[in-house]
Amino acid sequence: MSHCKRIVTFLFAVLFLAAANGQTKDKKELLQQKRVRLQDEIQLASKILKDTRKDQQLTLSQVQTFGQKIRIREQLIQTIRREVQLFDRQIKEEELEITALEKRIEALKEEYAKLIYSAYKSNSRTSKTMFILASDDFAQAVRRLQYLRKYAEFRKQQVDEIRNKQALLEEKIAGLAVQKADKQKLLSSYEGERKQLLTEKVDLDKAITNLRSQEKELEKSIQKKKAEADKLNAEIERIIAAEMRRAQEAAIRKELETEANRVGLVKGKDYQTNTSNKALQNLIDAKRKAAAAAGTPAPTKPATPSQSFGMTPEAQQMANNFVANKAKLPWPVERGVLVKEFGLQRHQVATQVQVFNSGIDIATEKGARARAVFEGEVVSTPLIPNSPLKAVIIKHGNYFTVYSNLISLEVKVGDTVKVKQVLGEIYADDEQAESVLHFQLWKDMEKQDPKPWLFK
């Protein structure tokens, strides 16, 4: 293989490995970020359990938090495993680069040795001065001088390249040693997490067995919570239905007033705020007839796009903004652990019972406060049935978010809230040893799974 071909092949290999290393580095950073987040969630779950656990027995709500902690740890173990695999791949790539560099340095040294030998032979035959003086004419002497200068520069470049490649090689070898050490730390962490997971699974199985021995009390607790949830959902549906009617009426009224202005009626003069819709429509019709009789027909009503329920343009814009932020909404608590998903699911302890969750439940620290996931208007702060606790319902166009299980509120009906604005403190139940926010999301009268809407 010629010298030129060797250089091209080497450059191609370097570029290929550099691109691969870039992709590996990005994946590695993402996995590191995920590992840190999962470790933070495990730490939070441990703190919640430590703060609320009064004895060796886990309560029903603590079992949910403990079970979620185990699921998070399983994700953490999987993440660490993928990180180790990436380390293996990156170490192999680094070893290939080191081998390629070593070969390149050897090739450069061989080429430099040939240059030195060639120079030695030239010097033995004649001196540089005699080589120039032996020229046939002045032009040839100039060319020979330029040749000697370029030859000397080329030899210097060869030396510099060998030094640079040697320094890069030493840097790569040092980096490889660091990567191998980091990999070993990860492997140790992986084994530690696996052992901890096995211990936690045994503890959870014991807690579930103990709770199942209290079957009657368990069923009674489940039915009580189900009845409370049903009453709350019925109240939420009633409030949203009433809000939809109010929005429909507001949209119809705005459309009528826009039409009245179009035909020439003046608010405050020709009609008032308390003028009924029917009376206002009659005024519009009369104005059109008068204009037609005078030979100057009033402007026709333009076509309007259909809407999910009669929303004003402002409400429609709010709804559009809300939808545009799907998967980007902040969580309704600053720090929390998701302990119950949306939808129909088997009870973790009473596995023969299926329970439908209208939202998601997030366990959090005592004293934590709920916060708005998006800007909007507080339309209701209903009391939870048979309880001193409250909920907050916020309207975002034709979308509604519900924050339930609050012991105190910092907002009132009619308030316009901003993203992450504090709504109230989440109740900490001393008897059940839990502090859980129940969060719901509705579109019109339809419940939505809130999780896909929240930032991952």
What is the count of structural domains for the chain? 2
Same domain, 203 and 348: no
The answer to whether 74 touches 205, Cβ cutoff 8 Å, is no
Structural domain boundaries, residue 389: 320-453
Q: What is the pLDDT of residues 386-402, one digit of tens each?
A: 788 999 999 999 999 99
Same domain, 333 and 205: no
Q: What is the CATH number of the domain that holds 419?
A: 2.70.70.10
For residue 239, is it within any domain?
no
How far apart (Å, rounded) are the C-alpha atoms in residues 436 and 340?
A: 10
Terminal CA-to-CA distance of the chain, rounded, Å? 53
Same domain, 327 and 208: no
Last residue of a domain, one of 171, 192, 212: 212
| The dihedral formed by the CA atoms of 441, 444, 448 and 454, expressed in degrees to the nearest 10 | -50
Q: Is the torsion defined by CA of 227, 232, 233, 237 positive or negative?
A: positive
Q: Which stretch of 148-157, 173-182, 318-327 has the lowest confidence by average pLDDT?
A: 148-157
Same domain, 208 and 339: no
For residue 200, is it within any domain?
yes
For residue 308, is it within any domain?
no
Does the structure show a pLDDT above 80 at 159? no
Q: What is the pLDDT of residues 223-239, one digit of tens each?
A: 777 888 888 888 899 99
The answer to whether 181 touches 37, Cβ cutoff 8 Å, is no
How far apart (Å, rounded) are the C-alpha atoms in residues 403 and 426?
A: 9
For residue 218, is it within any domain?
no
For residue 39, is it within any domain?
yes
More confidently predicted of 295 and 148: 295
Residue 204: φ, ψ to 5° = -65, -45
Amino acid 305: pLDDT: 43
Average pLDDT over residues 168-185: 78
For residue 344, is it within any domain?
yes
Amino acid 141: pLDDT: 63
Same domain, 200 and 334: no
Three-class SS state of 363: strand
Last residue of a domain, one of 160, 186, 212: 212
Last residue of a domain, one of 212, 245, 264: 212
For residue 245, is it within any domain?
no
Buried b (16+ CB within 10 A) or exposed e, 227-242: eebeebbebbeebbee
DSSP, residue by residue, 277-291: HHHHHHHHHHHHHHH
Amino acid 378: pLDDT: 96
At residue 123 the predicted structure's pLDDT band, cuts being 50, 70 and 90, is low
Does the structure show a pLDDT above 80 at 24? no
Which residues does residue 429 pair with via DSSP β-bridges, in sequence order? 434
For residue 309, is it within any domain?
no
